[in-house]
Structure 1
Amino acid sequence: MARPSFLARIPSTPPALMRRLALLAVLAQGGIAVTGSVVRVTGSGLGCPTWPNCFPGSLVPVAHPGIAALTQWIEFSNRLLTFVVVAVSGFCLLAALNTRPRRRRLTWLAVAMPLGVVAQAVIGGFTVLLGLAWWSVMPHFLASMLLVWLAVQLVDEATAGGPVVRTVPGAARGLIMLSTVVLGALLVAGTLVTAAGPHAGDASTPRLGLGVPAMAQLHADLLFAYLGLLAGLGFTLFATHAPAALKRRYWVLVAVVAAQGALGGIQYALGVPEVLVALHVLGAAAVTAAAAAVWAGTTRREPLADAVADVSVEPPALATRP
Structure 2
Amino acid sequence: MPLETLKARIDALPTPSTRVQRAVAIAVVVTQALIAVTGSVVRVTGSGLGCSTWPQCQPGSLVPVSHPEFAALNQWIEFGNRLLTGVVGIVAFAAFALAYLARPRRRHYVRLALAMPVGVVVQAVLGGLTVRFDLLWWTVAVHLMVSAVMVWLSVLLVDAVDPAERDPVRVPSALPGLLTGSVVVLVGLLIAGTMVTGAGPHAGDPETPRLALPVETLAHVHAAFLFVYLGMLLAAGLLLRTGTSSRTLWRRYWIVVAVVLAQGALGFVQFWTGVPELLVSLHVLGATAVVAATSALWCGTRARTTTPAELVAA
TM bucket by the smaller chain?
A: over 0.9
Q: 1:77 aligns with which of 77, 80, 85?
A: 80
Question: Equivalent residues in 2 for 1:38-187 (5 A)?
Answer: 38-162=41-165, 165-187=168-190
User: Which deviations, in whole Å up to 9, do the C-alpha atoms of 1:250-307 show, x marking residues without a partner?
Assistant: 0000000000000000011000000000000000000000000000101225699xxx
- Return the offset for 1:57: 1.2
Cα distance in 1, alignment partners of residues 102 and 89 from structure 2: 20
Q: 1:216 aligns with which of 213, 219, 228?
A: 219
Cα distance in 1, alignment partners of residues 133 and 42 from structure 2: 16
Residues 172, 244 of structure 2: 8 Å contact kept: no
Q: 1:20 aligns with which of 13, 20, 23?
A: 23
Cα distance in 2, alignment partners of residues 258 and 166 from structure 1: 26
Residues 172, 243 of structure 2: 8 Å contact kept: yes
Name the structure 2 match of 1:266: 269
The amino acid that maps onto 1:93 is F
| CA RMSD between the two structures | 1.7
Q: Name the % identity.
A: 54
Which structure has the bigger radius of gyration? Answer: 1
Residues 106, 154 of structure 1: 8 Å contact kept: yes
Name the structure 2 match of 1:257: 260
Cα distance in 2, alignment partners of residues 272 and 150 from structure 1: 30
Name the CA shift for 1:242/1:173 in 2 (closer, same or farther; >3 Å).
farther
TM-score by length of 1: 0.90
Counterpart secondary structure, 2:127:
helix
Name the structure 1 match of 2:34: 31
Cα distance in 1, alignment partners of residues 200 and 58 from structure 2: 28
Alignment of 1:280 with 2:283, yes or no, is yes
Structure 1 gaps, min length 5: 305-322
Cα distance in 2, alignment partners of residues 165 and 58 from structure 1: 55
How many aligned residue pairs are there? 301
Name the CA shift for 1:125/1:302 in 2 (closer, same or farther; >3 Å).
closer
- Return the offset for 1:163: 6.3
Residues 160, 301 of structure 1: 8 Å contact kept: no
